[in-house]
């Protein structure tokens, strides 16, 4: 009987060590939520034209302000001039100005 207990105990210990070794060899993958894609100029124009309800895009250029990548889009619609700053990563509108065209 002692012999049987000894064999079973040895088998359990050996199996536990092997299982632990298998777990230690697994690769750990950490997912980050850092966005890697940015919107392009055409998407920025589309977002700006949507908020201005159409018009003629007179200029579009990318720039960086305080570490935030942005697009500045200028639009003329009828007699109103629009300036829209768009976050290049999220596509959110950061600033929106409108004024009467001179």
Both structure tokens of 52: 């201005």
Exposure of 85 by Cβ count < 10 A (0-12 exposed, 13-18 middle, 19+ buried)?
buried
Residue 101 confidence (pLDDT): 81
Residue 29 confidence (pLDDT): 61
- State yes or no: pLDDT of 23 exceeds 90: no
Q: What is the mean pLDDT of residues 17-36?
A: 56
Residue 80 confidence (pLDDT): 95
- State yes or no: pLDDT of 21 exceeds 60: no
What are the sequence ranges of the domains in the chain? 41-100
Check if CATH label 3.10.450.40 holds for domain 41-100: yes
Regarding pTM above 0.75, the answer is no
């Amino acid at each position: 009987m002692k012999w049987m207990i000894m064999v079973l105990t040895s088998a359990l210990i050996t199996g536990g060590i092997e299982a632990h070794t298998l777990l230690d060899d697994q690769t750990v993958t950490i997912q980050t939520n850092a966005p890697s894609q940015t919107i392009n100029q055409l998407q920025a124009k589309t977002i700006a034209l949507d908020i201005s309800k159409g018009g003629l895009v007179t200029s579009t250029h990318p720039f960086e302000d305080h570490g935030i990548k942005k697009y500045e889009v200028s639009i003329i619609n009828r007699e109103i001039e629009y300036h829209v700053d768009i976050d290049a990563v999220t596509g959110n509108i950061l600033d929106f100005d409108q004024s009467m065209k001179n």
